[in-house]
Structures are given as structure tokens and as C-alpha cells.
Amino acid sequence: MRTDQKKIDWPRGPDARGGNQPIGTTVINNVITDIGVWQKQSSFWFQATTARSVIKGNVHFNGPRAGINVNDGMGGGDEITENLLLNTCRESGDHGPFNSWDRAPYITTIGLNAPKPSVFPAFRNIHHNFMLANYNSQEAIDNDDGSSFYKTHHNFFVYGEAGLKSDFGGHDNHHENNIYAYAGSAFGNGNNLRFINNTCVLPSPQGYSSDCGDLPSGMKVGGNAVYIPGGNISVCRSKANPDGVPLNTWVEKTGHDKGSSMHAMPTDAELIEMGRKLIGITK
């Protein structure tokens, strides 16, 4: 290095502070169907190094992979709302109507700590959508590979192996006030996750794990209405107590999972009406 050359404090990680990325793209009121005939692994909306997108009022069905795919966490601040997604993952396993990845930190000035530079994206909001996680979907919302900073609320999700998923270091994913109809399980564990005030209609009593044991740092569970066949669910099974504890007893006697309750299965008509009210369908 020359003695007169100034030392440059290079950022650590991909630098998106220049703003040379798509910001504020809108995709509104489209019908997209039968994609993936020529290009496999395609989605009706895929974004990478893109922020503050608005994906609203779209109908998508019949696709080979996820319907909406978000490649990374750059910037964040996207809104995904009032969409109908179904018949995705027809030619692949896992994923679901929505899939996300986040494998590298991007420095921006539009993220969680804006206008200060930060690698933390602003929360993405996924709300008031109707998604059928049929065919080979793993979840309706698949926050995969470190995906973080998502607020998923007031959605009607039907089918899928699970509800809230956050893996490979993912964190700060909040699922609140959603309906999960006929999902295999309600949620998995992770750091700074929230599973609050949701309605879980589960075919198996094994599908709701409550907040038993040592939860990861910052994880919160409570206020959930759990519907299962027969209406009786036990949680916190162990070798010492293989039968577990009735959920209502766990909530009332220990103070855990505050506000959660167990119920018998609703009829299809009741469940449909619950979903209509939640996402605001009035006709």
C-alpha cells in the first residue's frame, strides 16, 4: 500500500447501500396459472436483491414449485396481501405457496434500523391471504435457510405438514392471528419466534407441542385455540410422563402457554366461516 493512500473501511458483506436494486415494485390483481411448462422450478413471483415489493390481489394456481419465492433478506419491507394461492409444488417436494431463503447479509439503509446502515431487513408483512398448501407443500409459508424478520398474520392456511417453520438459523418470524386448517403440526422451535393467538385445526393431538421444556431464546407461545378430534389434547410428554399433561391443566396450573385452549373439531361450514371473517371476505 502506498503511504499516501487512504485506508478504506470496506463493509463486511454485500453492500446494497447504493440503491441500485428494484425498490417498490407492485404486482397487483393478476391471474397466473399453469406456469412451469418450459422453465421448471419457476414461481409466479420471484425476487432477489429487491425490497418493499407489494404483491396484492393476485390469484395463482397450478405451478411446479413455490408460487412466491423470495431469495434473500435485502432491505425487506415487502407486503404480500389479499392473494389466493393454491395447487403449487405439483412437481416437487417441500416449499409451499410461499417460500423464502436468506443465505447472505446485505447492508442497506432501508432495513430495520433505517436510515442507519444495517444488515437487518425491515419486517416483511404477509397478511389476509388464502393459501391452500396442497399437492406436495411442506408449509403454506416456508421460511427456509435462515429467513428472518417476517410478520405473518390474519391468513387462512389450509393443509401442509406444518404451520410456523424457521430453520438453519432463522429468527424473528412472528405468526399471529392465523388459521391453520388440517396442518400436520402447528409450529417448530427457533430464536425470537412468536406463535400467538392462532387457530390450529389439527388432525392429530401430537400436532401441538405448547411451550414445554426449554424454548429457544425469545420464543413466545400463547393464546392459541387448538381444535383436535375429541377435543382432548395432552402436551409435554416425556419418558417419566408418557401420557403428558392436558393442555388446559398445563395452561391453568403452571402459567405456561397463557391463554391457549383446546376444543373439538369444527364442522367444515364453521371452519369456512371462521376463515371468511379472518381475511375479510364478506360476500
In angstroms, the Cα distances linking 131 to 58, 142, 153, 220 are 12, 12, 13, 25
**Residue 255 and residue 228 in contact, taking contact as beta carbons nearer than 8 Å:** no
Instruction: Write down the pLDDT at residue 240.
Output: 87
b/e 240-261 (16+ beta carbons within 10 angstroms → b): eeeebbbbeebbeeeebbeebe
Quote the mean pLDDT of the chain.
93
Q: Is the pLDDT of residue 12 over 80?
A: no
Instruction: Write down the pLDDT at residue 87.
Output: 97
Q: Is the pLDDT of residue 2 over 70?
A: no
> How would residue 9 be classed by pLDDT, with cut points 50, 70 and 90?
low
Classified as helix, coil or strand, 246 is strand
Q: What percent of the chain has pLDDT over 90?
A: 82
Q: Measured between alpha carbons, how far is 278 from 283 in angstroms, rounded to an integer?
A: 13
Task: List pLDDT tens digits, range 156-187.
Answer: 999 999 999 999 889 999 999 999 999 999 99
Region 129-155: what's the mean pLDDT?
Answer: 96
Q: Measured between alpha carbons, how far is 130 from 63 in angstroms, rounded to an integer?
A: 16
Of 6-20, 81-95, 179-193, 199-213, minimum mean pLDDT range: 6-20
> How would residue 90 be classed by pLDDT, with cut points 50, 70 and 90?
very high
What's this model's pTM, rounded to 2 decimal places?
A: 0.93
∠ CA 50-115-69, nearest 5°, is 20
- Parse the chain into domains and list their residue ranges: 26-279
**Residue 87 and residue 63 in contact, taking contact as beta carbons nearer than 8 Å:** yes
Other Cβ atoms within 10 Å of 264 Cβ, number: 10
